Structure 1
């Protein structure tokens, strides 16, 4: 696929489904928010440039959502996906917040641990919620900038959780101090959530209830006008809404992404993926680095290496759909947790397969935990069905996992990690890939036993 151009909207629509997963929302949430928000934007008379920026703000509003998942799991001793999904239905009133905290904190924990967690939240809830939202919004804005979106898009993501009356977070700004795109995105978000959970009447009732508190009254008025059009709700609820949103990208010409831009998008989403867990910080970047080192040693040409690096950056995107209570568990996973963990490969393939430019990444994302002996997952493929590009990324992935800290063990020295790879050569990993990795590491550092506890492999070898 190198050398071709693809519509940016098509890529972002597909990747927005990964953001839906990590927010615990039904697939297509960001797309439906884009449909709703763009109707509001047109109703208030935004020009094409503003509409284009609003379009991408709505699709990427949750770009920083993975960055507070581990902290939510830690504070509330809860499944972060369920927690985030259910919290979206809370209107912010003290009574609802208290009920939510009591019903969602430490439900699977011992009584004493649960009591301590609830007490901590009740005593420090304001500071904790600011911390969680600030982390999410700032991270999302940073990644949007990295992915070449305008400052208006970044600011729209940054202000998503501010409220018209000044009662939002993290900065408590009010009224027109809140970026317009943030105001539209928050309104569209609540409309979609309540429409999905309770239908049209529920969505309209919630909007009117929060008018003047959470929502800009002028935007509520615009939405009410939009909602009275006969086809609005029908299209929103139809299976065609994704195609409608893609076809309605503002501007006379669709924005096209070339290879350099695709690389930036992959690098940006790699940061979303790795922010999900403190134990995977920098993992995707390092896997991409080790993948490239292996491929270079194997004599693979630049264009094919570029596709491999892109795939390596995105191979774990499906982990956004796995709870941190599973990802960060320090002990052995039980049967149900292991089934959840194994689904991340399936999720990766499903998300990436909808974008032609990421077809190689979809194949690798879906198969990077397969083994040559057929004992891998999710399909139990044997060697004859595992392409070399999958074998390369799989080797890079396991090598980085072994040489990085994990919740269940400390990082291994390089020599020990290579010995483990060689111990499973021909059964789990391809000896050709292991040998290429070993040659690359030897060229970069003659002492393979050295590994600084303070610097990642990417920092040392990059």
Structure 2
């Protein structure tokens, strides 16, 4: 994409506004979603991390850990894949399929051709661990959990990543989570007997041999117990009560840098359009939440499909059509989020029945479903993509109008979306008022980045290289590099993915 065209779109983001608390979830809900997104991205079943978490707690207990340490092990196992979206592009470039290849890596089924393409993954491990640790910190999880996630790929013998920690320097919680996760994955793929043999061979290498000896006699019973529903338990007092669904959306979009902030903008626009359309508060809330959740299923599709420059094949399209299916399935597993995820899974349905995955028509699509689809379409048209520049407002409006004529959207819904995008806001009582003053009411608090640093940050968050950003900003590459280093220092991070995640949370981009 032409960098000048990309630059012209940087100032066209949806006006800052509050989601009125509609993005608030319980900590359990947010962690459950992050776990499922990780499972999808790693090619695992939807309950993979949940199963690993139960086993990790048992491993910790067998090792003599107290109740708090067992809970820490459970949380590290649950969130151990939460940095995987940030490394999807790297694994896709290296192995051709980030989802399938990572499944092969963790299940020890990598075939010779893939193994030949596997090179140094230190940089990818650094990104994964930094993002996972930052997510834990942003959610207010205990320091032991954050530290465990920042070292989740370390091995007992020092062969792990990213820091090559050895022996006692590796947090116990890492061994508990890793061994629990490996037991579940290897038993599922290879059978229990072979899994125990493989784990025994890794004793003293990946995890301490003494820990393997403690676990082995109980492994079968623990695996059998996973088939029974887990008894509900109260949340420990040391954990925060709530978390933000925007963090889940931001984590999902690290998979494709050019998507950064997309779901946030859809949520804001859908909420404002719903107010203009006179929808009740409960439906406005559901729309905002659905918009933040609608990208969950993207994690299940390899980056090679999303980044393909030419026409998608029939197989590619079949994978894409299943994205909203996976979103619905994920939400159905999280208590209290089923209705929001169901609404989210209608984002690509169209009135003429040409949408997916259900191919519903006008008779089955109510106002919330219609508004969500139109809002997502508008934001997509107004956002830059690797294969095109962002459409100007007039062009985007014309394209939506053409879809009204073609029967895919209805005129009233599109009018509400266009009005909201233009800054029209609902006055008290759902009348219509000019946005003017209240558009700035929810403006995010700015950090101490300079205007130039903010522009550099916007560009690298969209996937631009230092060289491309320098060319577009008419700076030298060394000047951009200096700005990037300053940004990293101010945001206390070392990778672009972590900088993007923190910048979104702080409202910088």
The question of a shared fold, defined as TM-score above 0.5 by the shorter chain, is answered with yes
Match of residue 183 from structure 1: 175
- Pairing 1:434–2:414 present: yes
- Out of 9, 16, 37, the position equivalent to 1:18 is 37
- Pairing 1:157–2:149 present: yes
> What aligned pairs does 1:9-408 form with structure 2 within 5 A after superposition?
9=28, 12-13=31-32, 16-76=35-95, 78-90=96-108, 100=112, 102-103=113-114, 118=117, 125-126=119-120, 129-227=121-219, 231-236=221-226, 238=227, 240=228, 243-244=229-230, 247=232, 251=236, 261=242, 264-408=243-387
1:8 Cα deviation from its structure 2 partner: 4.8
What is the distance in 1 between the residues matched to 2:252 and 2:374? 19
What is the distance in 2 between the residues matched to 1:235 and 1:8? 25
What is the distance in 2 between the residues matched to 1:274 and 1:7? 21
Match of residue 10 from structure 2: none
CA spacing shift, 1:441–1:198, aligned 2, 3 Å = closer
Give per-residue Cα distances to partners, 1:117-149, cap 9 Å, x unaligned. Answer: x5xx6xxx33xx011111111111212222332
What is the distance in 2 between the residues matched to 1:304 and 1:146? 28
CA contact (8 A) 1:18 1:317 kept: yes
Give per-residue Cα distances to partners, 1:156-178, cap 9 Å, x unaligned. Answer: 22211001111111111112222
What SS does structure 2 have at the residue aligned with 1:424? helix
Structure 1: runs of 5+ lacking an equivalent = 106-117, 447-451
How large is the Cα RMSD of the aligned pairs?
Answer: 3.2
CA spacing shift, 1:285–1:36, aligned 2, 3 Å = same
What is the distance in 2 between the residues matched to 1:418 and 1:322? 30
1:10 Cα deviation from its structure 2 partner: 6.2
CA contact (8 A) 1:51 1:250 kept: no
CA contact (8 A) 1:70 1:278 kept: no
What is the distance in 1 between the residues matched to 2:264 and 2:88? 20
Structure 2: runs of 5+ lacking an equivalent = 1-20, 425-434, 437-454, 463-503
CA spacing shift, 1:7–1:410, aligned 2, 3 Å = closer
What SS does structure 1 have at the residue aligned with 2:210? helix
What SS does structure 2 have at the residue aligned with 1:407? coil
Give per-residue Cα distances to partners, 1:27-72, cap 9 Å, x unaligned. Answer: 3221221121111111122222222222222211111111111121
Count of matched residue positions in the alignment of Structure 1 and Structure 2: 415
What is the distance in 2 between the residues matched to 1:86 and 1:104? 10
CA contact (8 A) 1:368 1:390 kept: yes
What is the distance in 2 between the residues matched to 1:344 and 1:431? 27
What is the distance in 2 between the residues matched to 1:254 and 1:231? 30
What is the distance in 2 between the residues matched to 1:365 and 1:286? 15
What is the distance in 2 between the residues matched to 1:184 and 1:283? 36
What is the distance in 2 between the residues matched to 1:460 and 1:440? 20
What SS does structure 2 have at the residue aligned with 1:192? helix
Match of residue 115 from structure 1: none
CA spacing shift, 1:58–1:187, aligned 2, 3 Å = same
CA contact (8 A) 1:9 1:255 kept: no
CA spacing shift, 1:29–1:363, aligned 2, 3 Å = closer
Moved over 3 A (4+): 5-15, 102-105, 246-251, 253-257, 299-304, 452-462
What is the distance in 2 between the residues matched to 1:139 and 1:280? 17
Give per-residue Cα distances to partners, 1:369-424, cap 9 Å, x unaligned. Answer: 11111211112211121121111111111112112222332221122111111111
Give the TM-score normalised by structure 1: 0.81
What SS does structure 1 have at the residue aligned with 2:206? coil
